[in-house]
Amino acid sequence: MATHKLGPMKNFFYQTDQLIRFSGRVTKALFSRPFYLTETLEQMYLGGVGSLWLVALTGILAGQAIAINFANELGDFGAKNYLGRIMIMAIVRELGPTLTGIMVAARVASGITAEIGSMKSSNQIDALRAYSIDPLQKLAVPRLVALLIMVPVLTIICDVVGLFGGYIIAVLLAHISGSLYWAPVVEHLNFGNITMGLVKPIVFAFIIAFVSLWKGFTAEGGAKGVGAATNQSVVITSISILLANFVITQVIFKLIKGYF
């Protein structure tokens, strides 16, 4: 269908419908054989290990920035001992998963879309079908599994380095003892905060995988079309992550409010 002939709203609903249908096919392929372990490990390395330093740097800088701001504000009320509690809420609940998701979307989603789109434009995907190889199982499933594993792992790393960045600021600039900082951090590392911090990256991984793969498999128009699809992939995944973050926060607070 020529989507450019549709109005903005009709085009939005059409594209959403196509994304949902594609996501369903990828999910179905996830539980089908064969499973390409080598490709999955390769994608875990490229997407996970390759993003490690970016995520770690983002986490520690964000943690330090938050700690500086809150330490100054809390100092006016003589409540610097609450800094660790605020850091666990800000980092583990919100910034850790969200920043990790956006960083991975910027780096990995663009790479997936560009790679798959280039393979499509050069007829490599048609070649796989000619050899009776399902492109979804060969290309999509390994990338989805890799993201489902590595995004939560990267989020945990981002949380740890973010809290450590806050600790550096607490000790060196806010003059808070290490024990006074870490005690509330450990105390509030409870079921609610951990659940919030782990559910989000899993959902974000699905978003990054489904959108980037969909844009890659549907890219048209040669190099120009692949470039446009790559740009759209990053924009859609980033916005979707922010929207999903809000929804997940609301849902989890309602479901397990008593565990925070």
Q: Which residues form the domain of 201?
A: 38-259
Q: Kindly state whether residue 8 falls inside one of the protein's structural domains.
A: no
Q: What is the model's pLDDT at position 78?
A: 76
Q: Within 13 Å, how many C-alpha atoms sit on residue 206's CB side?
A: 14
Q: Kindly state whether residue 31 falls inside one of the protein's structural domains.
A: no
Q: Kindly state whether residue 29 falls inside one of the protein's structural domains.
A: no
Q: What is the model's pLDDT at position 3?
A: 55
Q: Chunked in runs of 10, what are the mean pLDDT values of the chain (260 residues)? A: 64 88 93 90 91 93 92 82 90 94 93 92 88 91 96 96 94 88 90 93 97 93 88 94 95 83
**Rounded to an integer, what distance in angstroms lies between the CA atom of residue 72 and that of residue 84?**
14
Q: Kindly state whether residue 175 falls inside one of the protein's structural domains.
A: yes
The predicted model scores a pTM of 0.91
Q: Are 113 and 229 in contact (CB under 8 A)?
A: yes
Q: How many separate domains does the chain show?
A: 1
Q: Kindly state whether residue 2 falls inside one of the protein's structural domains.
A: no
Q: What is the model's pLDDT at position 139?
A: 93
Q: Are 101 and 151 in contact (CB under 8 A)?
A: yes
Q: Kindly state whether residue 57 falls inside one of the protein's structural domains.
A: yes
Closest CA to 231 of 121, 98, 103, 114: 114
Q: Kindly state whether residue 252 falls inside one of the protein's structural domains.
A: yes
DSSP of 147-174: HHHHHHHHHHHHHHHHHHHHHHHHHHTS
Q: Kindly state whether residue 71 falls inside one of the protein's structural domains.
A: yes
- Please report the sign of the dihedral spanned by the C-alpha atoms of residue 116, residue 244, residue 236, residue 92: negative
Q: What is the model's pLDDT at position 5?
A: 61
